[in-house]
Amino acid sequence: GSSLTWLVLGRSMAGFAISLSSMACCIYVSELVGPRQRGVLVSLYEAGITVGILLSYALNYVLARAPWEWRHMFGWAAALALL
């Protein structure tokens, strides 16, 4: 198969998995805490995801002009995932 087909398939599977885990985390938090803290914790979780996506786009923008463009982006993501 072509590289584009595998790329789209892989990205689709990763996106689906991330959406499932995001939904599961919010449900888990809502079941664990009382009603007074529930909104704050779910909002903090969503804000953390949003800020993380913003930072990753900013870092990718900076690294796009670096030598070995996408390899740096992949390496940074892998290093953070290992942590």
Residue 66 contacts residue 72 (beta carbons within 8 Å): yes
- 68-81 pLDDT tens trace: 777 877 888 888 88
User: What are the residue ranges in the chain where pLDDT is below 70?
Assistant: 1
The per-residue pLDDT for 54 is 93
DSSP 8-class letter at 34: -
Check the CA dihedral 63-66-70-72 and report its sign: negative
Distance (Å, whole) CA 72 – CA 24: 31
The per-residue pLDDT for 1 is 61
The per-residue pLDDT for 64 is 82
- The predicted model scores a pTM of 0.60
